[in-house]
Amino acid sequence: MSSRNGSRVRRAQIVDDVATHSPEDSVAGHPSQAVVPITQGASSAASASSSVAETSSWGRGSGRRGPSRGATERRLEPGHKWNVRVIGGYGVGEQGTNFISRMGIVIRLHCKIWQKNFSKLPEETRNGIFRDLEMSYCWDRTPQTDKEMLQHMTAMHKGWRGMLKSKHYKGKTSEDVVASVPSGVDPSDWRTMCQKWNSREEQDIAERNRQNRTHQSMTYRRGRTSIYQLKDDFVKTHQREPDRMEVFRMGRCKDLPDGTQRWVDDESRDHFERMTQMTTPSLQSDDATPVSAEDAFVAVMGRDRPSRVRCAGKAETLRTWYGRGESSSGGYHTQVQQLQDQNKKMEELCVERSRDRQDLQDLCAERSRDCQELQDLCAERSRDRQELENMRTQMAEMRTFMQQFAAQPSKMSRPGAGLECEESDESPDNYDDDD
């Protein structure tokens, strides 16, 4: 019988029935993937977990691939487990992503779709969830890790429920909603969930959440990769813990193949540039105290609110991050105030430098206008000089013409004098004749 048909119970049984390689292959070169033998108690827990039944929701004709789910568990030898590290309720390491995926599968088996707070689940249900996880994975389990994992499961279940609501409920009529039962969800549970979504209380909550989402900015854009996994990868690459500035950049900026960066929004880029300015000595004033990356982050992002520390992970609180008592002491508030004052001074210095730059640009523009006026004046003087040369040429031509004109009458007077002489010669003759 093909493994494509059957329920999740069938898939859970495959973990104990199928083996693809030896334990030595599992741990070679991957300490975080080390497998350990299953104890007798865990074996009985595994058999008890197989009692959870569900109708077939994947396989041939269902539209869901199915067999790839649980493939990691099927690679185990019978009686062995994958070793993972749990930080803040998240699986970290080579098998961290598979561990988180397994958490999502298990909680859907044990919990109703409308379940909201997993810490309030009956003890039997909680034990069943952890029992199923311990079938294939081994981690350092403590009451604190159980609490953090239940908080993470609550968020995972909420995200899955929101995805189903967006895909199978929103924008559909009542008949279509009832008929559009998601795969892996019991039809009666789906009808109950739709009735809850139709209630006035749930609609008010949804509207309030929608309004709150419009104010969100600088959102985390690394998908299912948690902050703890980012930190773990950073430590493996750089051999040191990342500061919150680096975590902020890793979660909101993507390095493109062409060497450029793509930020989720302009606000994230502006905040990171301000942090960089505060931590770069060349951009600070001479009397400014050197600022660490942590101090710059607090100064730019503001004071961390109770039960939340930005870019540190969901498990961190003010007390765990800053130390006992510092979250409510005046020293912490004084430090934050000092950093904010220093940030304000940096902003004033940037504004002053911006004004100086603007004054320099205005001075350059004024000098440019003076140069242009000087060039216009030189051009005007050149035109005057050219006009003067033209006038001199015209005067010379007129002088030459006048000289030529003055010389012409002297030549015309000579023929007139000859005529007078002739007349004077003839007059005596006439006189003599008259006598």
**Given this model, what pLDDT does residue 73 score?**
64
Could you give the CA distance from residue 346 to residue 217 in angstroms, rounded to a whole number? 24
Q: Which residues lie closer than 8 Å to 184 by C-beta, 6 or more apart?
A: 54, 57, 58, 108
Indicate the burial class of 10 (C-beta count within 10 angstroms; 0-12, 13-18, 19 or more).
middle
pLDDT of residue 112: 92
**Res 169: pLDDT:** 92
Rounded Cα–Cα distance for residues 340 and 313 (Å): 23
What pLDDT score does 309 carry? 85
Q: What is the pLDDT of residue 317?
A: 79
* Domain ranges for the chain: 8-189, 227-339
Q: What pLDDT, in 10s, does the model give residues 57-112?
A: 544 455 555 555 556 666 777 778 889 999 988 999 888 888 999 999 999 999 99
150 token code pair: 């239940």
Pair of tokens at residue 418: 């000859």
| Contacts of residue 289, Cβ cutoff 8 Å, sequence gap at least 6 | 342
pTM score above 0.85: no
Average pLDDT, integer, range 312-324: 77
Q: Is 238 exposed, middle or buried (0-12, 13-18, 19+ CB in 10 A)?
A: exposed
Could you report the per-residue pLDDT of 185-209, keeping only the tens digit for each?
999 999 999 999 999 999 999 999 8
Question: For residues 228 and 314, what is the distance between their CA atoms, to the nearest angstrom?
Answer: 10
How many other CB atoms sit within 10 Å of the CB of residue 208?
10
Lowest average pLDDT, out of 34-43, 258-267, 414-423, goes to 34-43
